[in-house]
Amino acid sequence: MSSIGKLMKQAARMQQQMEQVQAQLAARTVEATSGGGAVKVVAKCDGSLASIKIDPQALNPSDAQLLEDMIVTAANQALGQAKDIANTEMGKVTAGLSLPGLG
């Protein structure tokens, strides 16, 4: 088999592995809290938010800015964790390759 043929087979195999990892990442979740647990955010490892839970005692209209800040903090933490997991898992698929745009 020519080296081009081998490269094409390897690329097809890698594409299939990447699709499997992406599907697994879409199902995997991480969570982060802020405000001592007043806000909990669950993010999927595909980069989307799954849920936001707010302790009813944190719902004080005069402290809306504080609650908003807690939500942003928890969301950023959860999405950061999700991104780290996604990068690690995708890195396993592309390990050893030095193709532009895949490393």
Residue 46 falls inside a structural domain: yes
pTM, whole model, 2 decimals?
0.74
Residue 44's φ and ψ, nearest 5 degrees, are -85, 150
Mean pLDDT of 45-66: 92
pLDDT at 65 over 50: yes
- pLDDT for 96: 64
Residue 90 falls inside a structural domain: yes
Of 13, 73, 81, 10, the residue nearest 40 (C-alpha): 73
Range of the structural domain that residue 77 is part of: 3-94
Residue 100 falls inside a structural domain: no
What is the CATH classification number for the domain harbouring 55?
Answer: 3.30.1310.10
Torsion of CA 8, 11, 17, 19, to 10 degrees: -100
pLDDT at 77 over 70: yes
Q: CA end-to-end span of the chain, whole Å?
A: 26
By the 8 A CB rule, do 89 and 81 touch? Answer: no
Residue 99 falls inside a structural domain: no
Residue 36 falls inside a structural domain: yes
Residue 26 falls inside a structural domain: yes
SS3 30: strand
pLDDT at 103 over 50: no
> How many domains does one find in the chain?
1
- Residue pLDDT, tens place only, 3-28: 888 888 888 888 888 899 889 999 99
